[in-house]
Structure 1
Amino acid sequence: MSKPKLIVVSTGGTITMTSGQGAKGIAPTLTAADLLNAVPQIAQQADIEALTFSSMPGASLTTNHIVDLAKLIQQRFDAGIDGAIVIQGTDTIEETSFLLDLLVADSKPLIVTGAMRGAQAAGADGPANLLASVVVAGSPHAAGRGSLVVLNDEIHAAAFVRKGHTGLTSSFISPNCGPIGLVCEQRALFTSSPAAPRRSTPAPGALADIAIVKACLGDDGRILDALPGMAYAGVVVEAMGAGHVPQSWVPGLSGLAEKMPVVLAVRTPAGPVFNNTYGFPGSEIDLINRGLIPAGLLDALKARLLLGVSMGNNETPEGIRLQFKRFSYLQD
C-alpha cells in the first residue's frame, strides 16, 4: 500500500524556537525540514513535502498571511497532495485553524499543530505533536471533517478548540464538545464529527476589519460611539452570561446595528448565545430584536473571523445571518 503524500508547511512558533548564544529567551530558528528530520518515524508514515512559509511567532501572524496560506494549500490539494499540516505558534491556533476551515474548500485532511515547549526544552512536545499530525493527515478517516487541531495526542475540531492554559502541554480544549478523536498506536481514532460544515461561500481576497468589544462590570460602553469612525466594517460584542450587556450599552448597540453588522457572542468558556429566555433591556431577546446577530456556539474570536470572511465576500445581511446560523444549535 502506497504512503500518503503530505505537505508540511511551517509558519514558525514555539515548536521552531531555540535559544541563541547570549540571547535572552527563545525565538524561531528551525525550518520545516529541520522539524521533520528530528522525527525519523515520520518517513515511515508518509511521503512529505516540506515548506517553510514564514518564521514568526503565532502572535505576529495576520489574516492576510492565512489567506495566502489557504491559497497555497488549495493549490497543493489541486495538484494531488493527499493532506496538509500547518505548523504554527499556539497563541493563535484556535483562530488560524478556524479561518483555514472557512477558506479551504477541499475535503482532504488539513491539520494545524504546534508545541507548548521550545525545541530544546526537557520534554519538548513538538516532535510528538508533529508525528501525531502526520498520522491524522494520512488517515482516510480524517477526510471531510474540516480543519483539525492536533496536540497532546488529541484531535479537536477547529470550530470549537480553544487554548486553555499558558504553559501545559494539555493546553488545548474544546469546551462545548471535547476532542473529536485521539491518536493511539499510530492510528487516528475518531469518536465524533464536527457539527458544522466547512465554508459554503467563496474564499475572499481579504477579510473585512472587525472589532471585538468585551462587556465587563461597570463599563459604560463609551467605546461603542467611537467605532463608526475607526474604519471597522463590523463588530462582535463579547457579552456577559447568555448574551447580556449593561443597560447603558443598549442605545450605542442599537445605533451600531443600524450602520454595520453587530454579532452577539458570549464571554463564558462554553455554551451558546441564548435566543429566547431573558427579556430585560440589554438581554439577548432585546439585543436580537435590535438587529444583533447571535453567534451560536462560536466564541468571539471565531465569530470575528466568520464575519470578516462573510463581509469580505460582500454577503448580504441575510447571508451573514445564515452563515452564523450554521453554528447555532437552537434552531427549530
Structure 2
Amino acid sequence: MTPNDMFNIAKLVDSEIKHTNYDGIVITHGTDTIEETAYFLDLYYKMETPIVMTGAMRNLSELGYDGLSNIVSAILVASDSQSKNRGVLLVMNDEINAASEVTKTHTVALDTFKSLEFGPLGVVDSSRVFFYRSNTNTKPKITISKLTKRVEIVKAASGTDSSIINFLIDSKVDGIIIEALGRGNVPPMMVPGIARAIQEGIPVVVTSRCPKGRVFDTYAYQGGGYHLKQLGVLFSGNLPSQKSRILLMLALESISTNDELNQYFEN
C-alpha cells in the first residue's frame, strides 16, 4: 500500500457514498499499514456514514483464523447507528478503535491493535455493539484534490547525526518527520540538519519513539524540545510518526507556512 493507493480508496468510497445510501462501509486491509490507511481516510472524510476497517492476523490455513469473526464484527459496527459521526474506525478482535488513536503493538498477537493511551472506543459483545467513550482527537478539516507531496521519517537514536536529514533535503523532500527521543528531544548532532531544513522551507515535525505520551517543548538544551521549538519545529502531540507523516502530506497540498501547519498539529 502506498499513499496514492490510500487516496484512490478514499475517492472510490467517496463516490460510492455520494451515489448510494449506504448505512456503512467495511474495508478489508492488510494489517501492516491498516492504521495509516484508516487515518488517511479519517482525515479525508467529512461524512456521518460509518467507515470501518478490518483485517486478519492469521490466514485461512492457520488454526484460529480470525478473519471471518473480524469481518462479522466490522459489519455489525458499520451498520450500527451509534457509529455515525465517529470518523473512521478499526475493528479487530471485537474491539472498536479510532483511526487517530489505534496502532499495531505486536507482530502476531490477535489483540495487536490497541489505543495505548486511551483504550478502545467500545467492543462487540454477543453480536451487540457497545461504545464506552468518544474520540479524543479533534479531526482537522483537510480537503485535497491531489496527492503530490513527499514526506519522510527519520528516527533518532543515541548519536544520530544530520546525515539522513541532509540527504533528504538534497533529495528535495517536501517535509520531514523526526521520531525523537522521549518528550521530543534529539541528539545535538541532528540540530544542524533540522535547522537547515527549516531555513530551506521544509517543515519539520517532531514525534516521539515512545508508544505513549505527548511531545512537548520542555527541555532547553541543544536538541531539547524547547530549543527545537525556537528553531521552528512543529510538535505532533501524541500522534505517532507514521500518522504525522500522513497528516503532513495532506496538509501540504493546500498550505505551506509553519503558522498554518501548526493548527493541524496543535490539535
Query: Is 1:101 matched with 2:42?
Result: yes
Q: Is the 8 A contact 1:161 1:174 kept in 2?
A: yes
> Post-superposition shift, 1:201?
2.1
SS at match of 2:252: helix
Residue 251 of structure 1, aligned match among 161, 167, 192: 192
CA 1:62–1:140 in 2, change beyond 3 Å: closer, same or farther? same
Letter in 2 for 1:233: D
Residue 210 of structure 2, aligned match among 249, 265, 268: 268
Q: Which residue pairs with 1:144 in the alignment? A: 85
SS at match of 1:289: helix
Written as runs of structure 1 = structure 2, the 5 A alignment for 1:133-282 is 133-259=74-200, 260-275=202-217, 277-282=218-223
Query: Is 1:119 matched with 2:60?
Result: yes
Q: Which residue pairs with 2:4 in the alignment? A: 64
Q: Deviations over 1:135-162 (max 9, x none)?
A: 0000111111111100000011111111
Letter in 2 for 1:103: Y
The runs of 4+ residues in structure 1 deviating greater than 4 Å are none
Q: Deviations over 1:127-184 (max 9, x none)?
A: 0000000000001111111111000000111111111111111111111111111001
User: TM-score, length-normalised on structure 2?
Assistant: 0.96
Query: Is 1:130 matched with 2:49?
Result: no
Q: Is the 8 A contact 1:204 1:309 kept in 2?
A: no
Q: List gaps (5 residues or longer) in structure 1.
A: 1-60, 327-332
Letter in 2 for 1:265: T
> How large is the Cα RMSD of the aligned pairs?
1.2
Moved more, 217-226 or 232-241: 217-226
Letter in 1 for 2:59: G
> Post-superposition shift, 1:231?
2.4
User: TM-score, length-normalised on structure 1?
Assistant: 0.78
Letter in 1 for 2:10: A
Partner Cα separation in structure 1 for residue 145 and residue 214 of structure 2: 27
SS at match of 2:264: helix
Q: Which residue pairs with 2:31 in the alignment? A: 90
Q: List gaps (5 residues or longer) in structure 2.
A: none
Partner Cα separation in structure 2 for residue 198 and residue 84 of structure 1: 19
Letter in 2 for 1:206: L
Q: Deviations over 1:26-52 (max 9, x none)?
A: xxxxxxxxxxxxxxxxxxxxxxxxxxx
Q: Deviations over 1:176-228 (max 9, x none)?
A: 11111100121211111112233412134114110100001122232122221
Q: Deviations over 1:253-288 (max 9, x none)?
A: 11111221100111001101013x211110100001
Letter in 1 for 2:173: Y
Query: Is 1:310 matched with 2:251?
Result: yes
Q: Is the 8 A contact 1:105 1:199 kept in 2?
A: no
| Structure index of larger Rg | 1
Partner Cα separation in structure 2 for residue 148 and residue 67 of structure 1: 17
Partner Cα separation in structure 1 for residue 246 and residue 236 of structure 2: 11
Q: Is the 8 A contact 1:241 1:267 kept in 2?
A: yes
Partner Cα separation in structure 2 for residue 189 and residue 315 of structure 1: 41
SS at match of 2:59: coil
> Post-superposition shift, 1:313?
2.4
